[in-house]
Homo-oligomer: A and B are copies of this chain.
């Protein structure tokens, strides 16, 4: 048996207000006056002086605001890379992603594609990246996806939704400042937090589980429970705990994998463009057969926070659309194998998957 030699984020700052240290962290990484820092920032912060005024722009440094209304796409990555190459005198000194999973994944992908030839969809898969990425920094402003610590960047491409999984994907530096998450709207907070919760269930119930993943997964699970179910925390405590839950949840997947909910949610995203967090929730809500206790607890959390999930989103899909959805989902073999074991193809057929999607 061969074990993964897992790449970890080599630098992390944690603390309320630690975002103030960003300029000092970046300064020694500037190569020269012609090699700027490029900030990719969720456009919800566009007029947010509290956050933006703390970023010191020098020389050709530049902020690019990006909407996270849609899942990140390979075409979007390629356009960003072209824009950056055309507008900078030299290769950037660094890419800084500020936002939720969408922005973090875009920052990771852009930093990879600035040093690797071709188009980003060619790198969707496992270990296809050849050259180290540009120095890249991740600063989450929503907690749950684990994108700040994972070795993947999940993109929707021309023919699949799949991550660029590589040793060069993880951030070189992460800043964990829970204060940045204080303005997240309740629904988004819940959906993104549930991404973490679902990671834990899928990892802990998966066949790939080992003691490394287990210890991280159990801690993240316990933190999610205290935030979303027990819920007697102050806002600050809750924000800090969710930030750590996301971190540990991401670490838990290092040696394991996600499972049925993620495999199906990728299909929803590909065909309908459903965002990852809410997509996971819509799917997980119907997975009692696979994760009985996990789904039961999820329903209790949903009810505690009065979350109403959209219904019937697959009702009017054509057969062709449904087939595409099923194919995208079944293509994620490691996820199914983790969830259902080596013989997963007997347990999860196209027919069965169609029935499940039809319920959503």
Contacts and interface: CB of A to CB of B under 8 A. Distances in A.
A176 B15 contact: no
Query: What's the number of copies of this chain in the assembled complex?
Result: 2
A5 B173 CA distance: 9
Interface in A223-240: 223, 237, 240
Contacts of A244: 211-212, 215
Interface residues of A, number: 38
A18 B6 contact: no
A75 B255 CA distance: 40
A1 B17 contact: yes
B210 A14 contact: yes
A199 interface: no
Contact of A211 (B11, B18, B216, B243): B243
Given A21-B2, A211-B243, A10 B12 contact: no
A8 interface: yes
B9 A13 contact: no
Contact of A10 (B7, B219, B248): B7
List the 9 closest A-B pairs by CB distance, nearest first: A3-B15, A211-B240, A14-B212, A10-B10, A219-B219, A215-B244, A3-B18, A5-B13, A3-B13
Interface of A: 1-15, 17-18, 21, 25, 173, 176, 178, 210-212, 215-216, 218-219, 223, 237, 240-241, 243-245, 248, 255
Given A3-B13, A5-B12, A8-B11, 20 more contacts: A1-B17, A2-B21, A5-B21, A5-B25, A5-B173, A8-B8, A8-B12, A15-B210, A176-B212, A178-B211, A210-B240, A211-B237, A211-B243, A211-B244, A215-B219, A215-B223, A215-B241, A215-B248, A216-B219, A218-B219
